[in-house]
Amino acid sequence: MSNDMDKYTGAANVGVDELKALPEQVVAELEAHKQLYLTDPEKAHYWDPGVIGVPGGPVACLLLEYTGRKSGKKLSMAIQYYRRNGKVAIVASKGGIEENPQWYLNLQADPNCYVRIGAKSSPAVARTATGAERAEWWAQIREEQPMQKTYESRTSREIPVVILEFPEGTNI
């Protein structure tokens, strides 16, 4: 692993400014994962983020499609997701930088999105969990993905947990 990747994913005392721009290798791996999701969603559903320096083995990922708040363009990204009580959530941690990730800001501007989990897909509406609901999700997320503890330690912001709500009767 390169020193640049160590800076992004490594110890909790990484400078916030060092995390604002992802290393080129990380950007390339994330883009390759997104492209795999577009061409072979079953193969892309479980992805090993070890290629970008996040330990722990393969994680379940979904493809999130949303609208850019400034450009109005359709954008997409593959991201780890979590399940709890029949619901699906994603986390806006971005390595623990002080600013929320752009995809989260876009969902705040327009919460209507489209989600692919493996070969299944559905429209969804994104909302940020708050209070006790967020606390319950966050405890599970930290347990399931310990790297989130490191990201949390790097920032003073509360890392958003985004619940994806699907139309009633959707099996995704």
Cβ atoms 121, 115 nearer than 8 A: yes
List, run by run, the mean pLDDT of 10-residue segments along the chain (172 residues).
38 43 81 94 91 82 97 96 97 92 97 97 98 98 92 94 97 92
The pLDDT score that the predictor gives to residue 7 is 36
The pLDDT score that the predictor gives to residue 57 is 78
Cβ atoms 78, 43 nearer than 8 A: no
Task: Give the residues across from 165 on adjacent strands.
Answer: 125
Using DSSP's 3-state secondary structure scheme, residue 141 falls into helix
Domain architecture of the chain: domains with CATH:
3-165 (2.30.110.10)
The pLDDT score that the predictor gives to residue 18 is 46
The pLDDT score that the predictor gives to residue 21 is 64
Cβ atoms 43, 61 nearer than 8 A: no
Alpha helices in 11-53 (DSSP H): 16-19, 24-39, 41-45
How many Å apart are CA 62 and CA 158, to the nearest integer?
A: 23
